[in-house]
Amino acid sequence: ATERKALFVFFGGTGDLAYRKLYPSLFNLYRKGNLRSHFAVIGTSRQTLDDEKFRAAIKKSLADSGNRSDSKEATDFISHFYYQAHDVTNVAHYSVLKDAADKLDKKYKLDGNRIFYLSMAPQFFGTIAQDLKTQGLMSTNKDAFNRLVIEKPFGRDYDSAKELNDALSKSFEEDQIFRIDHYLGKEMIQNIEALRFGNTLVESLWNNRYIDNIQVTLSEKLGVEERASYYDNSGALRDMVQNHIMQIVSLLAMEQPVAFTDTDIRAEKVKALRSLRVYNVADAATNFVRGQYGAVNDQPDYRHEDNVPVDSTTETFVAGKLLFDNYRWSGTPFYVRTGKMLADKFTRVDVVFKRPLVDIFAFPQSQNTPLAANVLTIFVEPHAGFSLQLNAKTNDTGFSTEPIKLDYLVDAEKSKDTPEPYERLIHDVLNGDGTNFSSWPEVSYAWKFVDQIRRVWDLQEPQFPNYTPHSMGPAAAEELIQRDHREWIYRL
């Protein structure tokens, strides 16, 4: 690996995400040589801590994520960490931070490269970006980079997202802003491009002539857990559809990029999202359904979870139909669904092909069951792989057909080495590669689509709860697809 020189400044540096994911990912990049001697990390938060205590916490974070934390390698890595108490709303604190940054830049010869990672409540993103600029934290060295990494959520509707983006863009250019969508760091999501653009067999059939429908399922087994106060303000539509699902769908729907670069890929994703039909009131109401989980055994219903109001109308489930008005996809719907407290935890994409136009095995005396549709499944998690369902002859003297599967599963030994999404994404930030981040135009089109669904939902009091825990959601999600004479490929 090529060593990259950089100073990382983490805002929210003592938070759960930083300890659980970000620092262990940095350590992996260090072990692989992407970071060596020319890097330093400043953790900031409101808490008072000294370097020594902060380093002890980093050591624990490495140990908790399954690393040997007393090795020479870990000790050397941890010696690059520094702590600075910093209230993001206090302008004066930024000049203290600037001095600390300049000092470390000299000490570790970082050439002025800076990565500001905002891992805290989004209401502070605007202020931080502004003060980083006005208080001189951004490096002015003309060969150096300044990059801003921000966590989700990016707004709660188009208007607030635009306001946030306007605030950020006063200090940072679009190509300096890295909006995290950790689904884009997943191996099998990145594999969609390889599968499509690396295989004649796939891409030549990848359109409305041969594909009947595409299904995207992000299923969670757990309920709202300790994120209730955040989640209740958001709901599944904002928390999962606007970002992760829209990103996956745009990778599935886009045209082939001119080249495999962030600029070209983003341009195609944006074009796809622009042709996504934004529903009018009537279509939004029929094409999207919502749910909230009820109670079962010891498991309380959503409204009786800790920190959830008893009259909450927040949806914990969404299913919907997306239509692209373009030459490739007109007439081929994308069905999506996601929810909490469902039957299992997994993410998958099912691409359902059209049946052969003529079924020659269905002659008058034939006992044969009608040909099944070919289905290409992309297993994203927990197991990574593909499966292709074809029709073949049964192994006997008569002539009947049966669906068989060609399976490719990434073996356990290999998947052990699969980098965590955050490791990949931080690696990309170090390399200035924006491919696996959401660009502002993508975010804005996704919000415009989602806002319309939300607007219609807000007109009506939902009948909640409406689904049983450990099911695949409310009956309405079945009706949504059955109405089109189709079925969910994954079913219980």
Q: What gap in Å lies between CA 161 and CA 154, rounded to an integer?
A: 6
Query: Counting contacts by CB under 6 A, is residue 119 touching ligand NAD?
Result: yes
Q: Given candidates 3, 17, 208, 256, which one binds ligand NAD under the rule CB under 6 A?
A: 17
Q: What gap in Å lies between CA 262 and CA 216, rounded to an integer?
A: 24
Q: Quick one: which segment of 44-52, 298-306, 312-320, 462-470 binds ligand NAD (CB under 6 A)?
A: 44-52
Residue 133 Ramachandran class (φ > 0 left, ψ -120 to 50 alpha, else beta):
alpha
Q: Is 80 a catalytic residue?
A: no
Number of amino acids touching ligand NAD (CB under 6 A): 20
Query: Counting contacts by CB under 6 A, is residue 47 touching ligand NAD?
Result: yes
In the bound complex, what is the minimum distance in angstroms from residue 164's beta carbon to ligand NAD? 12
In the bound complex, what is the minimum distance in angstroms from residue 97's beta carbon to ligand NAD? 11
Q: Which residue has the tokens 């067999």?
A: 201
* Pairing mode of beta strands 177-179, 211-219: unpaired
Which of the residues 174 through 213 are near ligand NAD (CB under 6 A)?
Answer: none
Name the DSSP letter for residue 247.
H
Q: Given candidates 56, 63, 122, 487, which one binds ligand NAD under the rule CB under 6 A?
A: 122
Query: Counting contacts by CB under 6 A, is residue 242 touching ligand NAD?
Result: no
Specify the residue, 13 or 473, whose C-beta has the smaller distance to ligand NAD. 13
Q: CA end-to-end span of the chain, whole Å? A: 45
**Residue 385 near residue 379, CB atoms below 8 Å:** yes
Given 80, 182, 244, 427, the catalytic residue:
244
Q: Given candidates 46, 196, 383, 470, which one binds ligand NAD under the rule CB under 6 A?
A: 46
- Report which of 338, 333, 403 is spatially closest to residue 375, judged by C-alpha positions: 403
Name the DSSP letter for residue 382.
S
Query: Counting contacts by CB under 6 A, is residue 120 touching ligand NAD?
Result: yes
Q: Quick one: which segment of 55-63, 116-124, 280-288, 433-441 binds ligand NAD (CB under 6 A)?
A: 116-124
Q: Given candidates 6, 57, 74, 88, which one binds ligand NAD under the rule CB under 6 A?
A: 88
**Edge-to-edge, what's the strand order for the sheet holding 114-118?**
81-85, 39-45, 6-11, 114-118, 146-150, 177-179
Query: Counting contacts by CB under 6 A, is residue 474 touching ligand NAD?
Result: no
Query: Counting contacts by CB under 6 A, is residue 87 touching ligand NAD?
Result: yes
Query: Counting contacts by CB under 6 A, is residue 45 touching ligand NAD?
Result: yes
Alpha carbon 243 to chain centroid, angstroms: 6
Query: Counting contacts by CB under 6 A, is residue 441 touching ligand NAD?
Result: no
Q: Quick one: which segment of 6-14, 55-63, 201-209, 342-350 binds ligand NAD (CB under 6 A)?
A: 6-14
Q: Given candidates 79, 89, 369, 394, which one binds ligand NAD under the rule CB under 6 A?
A: 89
Q: What gap in Å lies between CA 354 and CA 60, rounded to an integer?
A: 53
Q: Quick one: which segment of 10-18, 193-201, 421-429, 483-491 binds ligand NAD (CB under 6 A)?
A: 10-18
Query: Counting contacts by CB under 6 A, is residue 419 touching ligand NAD?
Result: no
Cα separations (Å) of 21 from 14, 64, 119, 232, 382?
12, 10, 11, 24, 18
E runs forming strands in 354-428: 375-381, 385-393, 401-409
Q: What gap in Å lies between CA 486 and CA 478, rounded to an integer?
A: 9
Site string for ligand NAD, 379-418 (x = CB under 6 A): ----------------------------------------
Q: Given candidates 121, 258, 296, 406, which one binds ligand NAD under the rule CB under 6 A?
A: 121
Q: Given candidates 12, 235, 333, 473, which one binds ligand NAD under the rule CB under 6 A?
A: 12
**Edge-to-edge, what's the strand order for the sheet holding 211-219?**
288-291, 317-322, 334-339, 211-219, 346-353, 375-381, 385-393, 401-409
Q: Given candidates 31, 133, 152, 277, which one binds ligand NAD under the rule CB under 6 A?
A: 152
- Report which of 257, 289, 252, 288 is spatially closest to residue 273, judged by C-alpha positions: 252
In the bound complex, what is the minimum distance in angstroms from residue 35's beta carbon to ligand NAD? 21
Site residues for ligand NAD per CB under 6 A? 12-18, 45-47, 86-89, 119-122, 151-152
Which residues are tagged catalytic? 244
